[in-house]
Structure 1
Amino acid sequence: MKQPSDLVISLFDDALLRTASLLVPSHHREEWHREWSAELWHVRRSYSGIDDTFSWESQREITAFCLGAFPDALYIRAQPAKGIPAPVHVHGSAAQTLLWLSAALALCFVISRLLPGIEAENEAARYHVKPSALLVSEAAADSTQSSISAALYQDWKATPQRFFKELAFYRISRETADAGPVLLSLNVAHSTKNLFQLLGLPVIYADRFDDADGSLPAVILSHDTWVGSFAGDPRIAGHVLRIGRTKVRIAGVAPAGGWQLPGTPDAWLLESDAQIVSGSASRTKGYLFAQLSPRGLASMSGPGISISARNQDGNEIDLYGASIPAPVEGPWGICEFAIFLALVALPAVISVSLGESHVSSHRPSTKQRLSRILFFTAKLLLIAAIAFSASLDLAYSNTVSYSPLAECVQLLWCFTICLFGFRWAVADQRKRCPVCLRCVSNPATVGLASRTFLGWNGTEMICMGGHALLHVPSLPTSWFSGQRWLYLDSSWDFLFADSCT
């Protein structure tokens, strides 16, 4: 017969098992409690002895056994429900890769929106001089040097023209501009009012210029002057400043551009023809622009045209009319060229093959193959977009205006990022399971290097989802030159029972 103390401890042990069973999911609780109760009966039998005497050491061991039910109950509780596979922690998922690339693209794009130089390049590529506009200069003179006098311009304008339907002129002078707290030394172009209309270039912020009485002459700032001296203030139109002894009102800003009219003017002071040729200014040489008539366009066979004309004295002079091209390719054009160069150079830095596969009934389905192609395409597109934004950020990080040098830097960076980015994309794709698009892992060396031509020797990696093995030869041979995928059948499933399919 059991002693009272033995009975109390037995009830306590049973209570421990019952309490631990509450931690077990309800659909496993009864079965779990029966198994532990049966084990407890065997433990008690092993410690009770033949004489059935009470022993504190035996009771401590039995109680310790019952306390072990709590860790077991917690382990059972942590297991997923029946029919739901436990998640397997496999690195390098396709979604994670695309997320990181998208985050890098977003960062580069945000930075590009903050750099004024990038907007200047976009603006330079957006606005082009009219194809019918020519810069007229003496045939023997450099087109970048002023060679036409204001008086000759006025004489030609008053004379009927066969090849030109409109003329514009400006002359450059170095003058001081009083913009309030600072004095600016500017190359001021004293220009006819029709210059920008003839060239087909818009005046930015001109819609905010309001000078109804027309009492003050209008001045148009160059983009570089607007950014450098006026901090790119979009409310600059209408502000008054003094150039030399003349008070003028700012009418707008000229668009940025690599076309850069000759003389590198910082501002264009729009004047009437009478002011252009008044006094000694009539003998000052400047730059003459002409818009070709339909007859002139028909006579022009190249980027320039020879012109025979007469000067004010009636003597015949030889002139040359050169077109004013816009040498600004634009950021998209540069990026497209860089991507083309990177794709051409890619086979020289990496094999573009994505690997062979054994003939098997367990090969990926059409949907899985399509997903693989779309994933690879998405990586290439994201890398190209990152190269576009990042190259602009690097090229214009130290300049606030358009620069031909910045275009060269942009081309170099865009090509470099695309080349090595595409190289990474191909290498990454070659190590991704064609079924689940996760990176294979657990590399293992198989075979002996001394038996390369008698047996397979290389590295074997496995998809932790249980879909395929990747065999990469250490030395390419005629019968095993590239990596191969071996798709696993259902007989391998017991090794990946907890893996996501």
Structure 2
Amino acid sequence: MTSRDLINSLPVCRILLRTAGHFVPREYRTEWAAEWEAELWHIRSLGGSESSLRGSGYGSPAPAVFCLGAFQDALWLRRNDPHFALRELARLGSSSRCVLSLAAWLITSLLLCFWLPSARKAMLPSPYPGSNQVVLISPSGKSASQLPTIRVADYRAWKTSTRHLFTELAFYQMVEKRVHLAPHQTVDLSIVRSSTNLFELLNLPSFSLAPGQRPGLLLSEAAWRTYFKSDARIVGRLVEVGGLQVRIVGVLSQDLWRLPGHADGWMIAEGDPLQGLPSNSKGFVLAHLQPSGFSSDQHQMIVYRENGDADRFDCVSLTQQASLPFSIYLFTLFVACLALPATTPLPLGEYPARSESLAWRIRIRRWLFLAFKLALILPLVYFSSGVLAYGNLFSGIRAVNSVSAQYLQLGSSFLGLLFAFRWALRDQRSRCPVCLRRLTNPARVGEASRNFLAWNGTELICSGGHGLLHIPEIPTSWFSTQRWLYLDSSWSSLFSDVSVASAGAL
């Protein structure tokens, strides 16, 4: 027996048919298999005996080639089975596919937002317990600045003069220090030098040193991973910071430092670390509010100088600072809603009453589909603008709440919302109101001269046979917007998509 005889043998052909039968919907499988078995018997009977199959003397195709055609038939039945659950999802232009695509983009932007550390810091709420009572003091109009603006002398004076406003104040500043990691290996790190009550004010675990103990260094998680290779036995290791031997006391999670300024580590020492600082040295000041210190949520402090001039300082709570990205997003959402009517028409078109009343589920489904699109667009633009603004995708290390990042979020979220809303309305206009499929087969109708008699423009058709959409090329007073023309059930025989054509009867 040659290889040709083996391929065209009855057992091999039956194996091919049974394999193809697994792609046929279950309710049609028995009838389909019997029909193809009969056709196979007929093909083989035309070819005669097994020996006669060696040649191509018969006019019918070889049995193996015939059985390969069963796969094409089985896949066609699978794709066109009205009860196949994935059929509507795979259909080009279907409403389900549109919603799933938006959901996939939303999940992708959400995962990317929480995967990038800087974006995650900006979008998450404040990690400090009671952060609504802790404020960051800065000169008026500079609450978003990442540069130190408060002098040590002012901090020391406020500790006594603002007791009626604050229960406690803390000061910190960033200092570049050269750290010796190993022999002949140094790196410049940003070390935080602060008052001893900084972590206590933030309701974070604080570190205390015994008398005579070496100064300690608390590392940030990013510095620990980058410069110390994620060494699990890093605690207790001695390093040299600015010529001083210090002991590493721990690693602070990257999500727990949400204050202005980039920090690679925090110096912990006995006594007052700020004692040797010059009076004009600048840093950042945090304060805990008195229960009755301010009368409103908009906190502002006025300090009078000896010459009678007054300095105004903004006191922004850490909760308000952490919610700034969401506040920017709400503002851009409001502006985008105002700008939308000026950039695109809001009406969806003229949809006349149908002689055969549509089921209430079909009428509601159209508006639910629009609502689903808008509901998915809102968080999608929010997380995408957060990734673009705070994710450091196009630059190196950048402060999370920098002014440039806020302007980038402002522009990206406004443009994203505006164009996404425009797309949602245009997509809704280009769909059949019955099956929500995208309309296809555009055709030009009439000439420009017909504007004075009837209309000219583009005609689109629903592949399910539900109707025609007429879009005028030049809007006129008698044909100002697109119009939908329903087709009755007698037209359904002209369309191959029977399952969609029957959607109006649901």
TM-score (ref. length: structure 1): 0.65
Determine which structure has more spread, i.e. the larger CA radius of gyration. 1
Q: State, as a whole percentage, how many aligned pairs show the same letter.
A: 33
In structure 2, do the counterparts of structure 1 residues 318 and 344 end up closer, same or farther at CA, with 3 Å as the change threshold? closer
What is the match of residue 192 of structure 1? 195
Matched, 1:322 2:313: yes
Q: Kindly state the Cα deviation for residue 101 of structure 1 after the two structures are TM-superposed.
A: 2.3
Match of residue 427 from structure 1: 426
Q: CA 1:303–1:222 in 2, change beyond 3 Å: closer, same or farther?
A: farther
> What is the CA distance between 1:230 and its match in structure 2?
6.1
Relative to structure 1, the CA distance from residue 484 to residue 163 in structure 2 (aligned partners, 3 Å threshold; closer, same or farther) is closer
What is aligned with 1:476?
A: 475
CA distance in 2, matches of 1:478, 1:292: 64
Please report how far the alpha carbon of residue 435 of structure 1 lies from its aligned counterpart in structure 2 after TM superposition. Answer: 0.6
Which one of 178, 181, 187 corresponds to residue 180 of structure 2?
Answer: 178
TM (norm. structure 2) is: 0.65
Does the 8 Å contact 1:125/1:330 carry over to 2? no
- 1:141-200 C-alpha deviation (Å, 9 max, x unpaired): x981525189x669x76x9966654354557765433344643445655433113333xx
User: Which secondary structure does the structure 1 equivalent of 2:377 belong to?
Assistant: helix
Question: How far off is 1:491 after superposition?
Answer: 2.7
1:146 aligns with 2:151: yes
SS of 2:374's equivalent in the other structure is helix
Shift of 1:361: 2.0
Cα distance in 2 for partners of 1:135, 1:215 equals 33
In 2, Cα distance between equivalents of 1:490 and 1:119? 54
Q: Report the counterpart of residue 450 of structure 2 in structure 1.
A: 451
Residue in structure 1 matched with residue 382 of structure 2 by the alignment: 388
Q: Which residue in 1 is equivalent to 2:331?
A: 337
For residues 252 and 317 of structure 1, what CA distance do their matches in structure 2 show?
Answer: 47
Preserved CA contact (<8 Å) 1:464 1:499: no
Q: Report matched runs for 1:98-137 at 5 Å.
A: 98-122=99-123, 127=128, 131=133, 133=135, 135=137
Partner SS state of residue 304, structure 1:
strand
The answer to whether the Cα contact below 8 Å between 2:174 and 2:191 also exists between their aligned partners in 1 is yes
C-alpha distance 307-162 of structure 1, shift in aligned 2 (>3 A)? farther
Distance 2:437 2:247 in 1: 67
* Secondary structure at 1:306 match in 2: strand
Matches of 1:299 and 1:307, distance apart in 2: 21
Q: Distance in 2 between matches of 1:282 and 1:274?
A: 14
Residues 306-385 of structure 1 mapped to structure 2, 5 A cutoff: 306=303, 322-325=313-316, 326=318, 327-385=321-379
The structural deviation recorded for 1:334 is 3.1
Kept after mapping to 2: 8 A contact 1:149/1:282: no
**Alpha-carbon separation, structure 2, partners of 1:162 and 1:392:** 38
Alignment of 1:123-272 (within 5 A): 127=128, 131=133, 133=135, 135=137, 144-148=149-153, 165-169=167-171, 175-180=177-182, 182-186=185-189, 188-198=191-201, 201-203=202-204, 206=205, 215-220=213-218, 240-244=238-242, 245-253=244-252, 255-257=256-258, 260=260, 267-272=265-270
Q: Secondary structure of 1:357's partner? A: coil
RMSD after superposition: 5.0
Conserved? CA contact 1:342–1:415, under 8 Å: yes
CA distance in 2, matches of 1:241, 1:429: 64
- SS of residue paired to 1:356: coil
Residue 430 of structure 1: CA displacement? 0.5
Shift of 1:210: 10
Q: Kindly provide the CA deviation profile for residues 432-451 of structure 1, in whole angstroms up to 9, marking residues without a partner as x.
A: 11111111122223333213
Change (3 A) 1:462 1:399: same
Unaligned runs of 5+ in 2: 1-29, 40-57, 140-146
Structure 1: state its 5+ residue gaps: 1-23, 34-62, 310-315
Question: 2: CA distance between counterparts of 1:495 and 1:487?
Answer: 15
AA partner of residue 339 (structure 1): L
SS of 1:148's equivalent in the other structure is: helix
